[in-house]
Amino acid sequence: MEERPEGNHEFETPTIFSVLNNYYLLFFSATCVLASVFTQQFFYLIDQFRLGISAGPIIGIILPVYLITRRFPSGFKSQLRIKPLRPVPTACVIVATLAVVVLVDFIYFHSQRFMPVPTDYIEGLKELKPTGWLAVAVTFAGLCIVVPIAEEIIFRGVVQRVFCRNMHPVFAVVLAGILFGVVHLTPQLLPSMIFFGIYVGYLYFATANLTYTMLAHGLLNTTAFVQLVFSTEEQLSAMPMYVRNPMVVGASFVVLALLVVRIRKGGLE
């Protein structure tokens, strides 16, 4: 269970987590995710799918969460624990996340042995591949900035916080990570996205700072974006060179294991 400060609760600053019912918050979160997906689909139907990458999360997630949290005295940033980054924890998060990226790709490409990637998924990646600077900028803004911010707000900032109030933190982190993987709606991505969801869930629990999870999520999506931009169409479905090297994968695992211990108190000092 999440620790609750002792004292006279009558004088505590109200937040959405102390005022609103947990089931309502979960229903609200599910509605936000669905609104984001449907908004993206609308933009896809009008042949503006690149704009939809940003518009969906902004309209479906960021704006509704902002509007509901701003009604409380503590405000949007305070309730979601969006705090400034600090140098040492930030450096640890960056290095740990780069190690996680290797492990995520390793899990993803090896999961293809059991669940081959369908042709329409590869065709979707080819369609997403930007051509021209404007398309690159719009796609980058959506995938690497807006999407990480929105998904961390809803899955860690709201859903995981609700779970932590009602179950052991380990179960809360794992369950939020599973839901994060499921909503990506691609069986081939499920194991790797659950792994990443648990990692960023741990970051949020350990640091009590949503900005670190946004940073980690942005780094993951940025590496995927770089691969998308600079890979040929044939290379999009191929395993990256670093995943083929057992030494790199093993070193990444060791680095991650060492840094999660360092991160554990990074946001609480």
Question: Is residue 158 assigned to a domain?
Answer: yes
Of 207, 160, 157, 165, the C-alpha closest to 179 is 160
Question: Is residue 39 assigned to a domain?
Answer: no
Note the pLDDT of residue 5. Answer: 43
Question: Is residue 13 assigned to a domain?
Answer: no
Question: Is residue 100 assigned to a domain?
Answer: yes
Q: How many domains does the chain have?
A: 1
Of 157, 133, 262, the C-alpha closest to 209 is 157
Question: Is residue 63 assigned to a domain?
Answer: no
pLDDT along the chain (269 residues), means of 10: 42 78 95 96 94 97 95 88 92 94 91 76 80 93 97 97 92 96 85 96 94 97 91 69 86 92 58
Q: Exposed e or buried b for every residue in 79-103, given b needs 16+ CB within 10 A?
A: bbbbeeeeeebbebbebbbbbbbbb
Question: Is residue 56 assigned to a domain?
Answer: no
Note the pLDDT of residue 11. Answer: 46
Range of the domain at 94: 82-263
Question: Is residue 17 assigned to a domain?
Answer: no
Note the pLDDT of residue 178. Answer: 96
Task: Tell me the C-alpha to C-alpha distance, in Å, between residue 122 and each of 24, 118, 168, 219, 233.
Answer: 37, 7, 39, 22, 9
Question: Is residue 10 assigned to a domain?
Answer: no
Note the pLDDT of residue 236. Answer: 66
Note the pLDDT of residue 237. Answer: 66
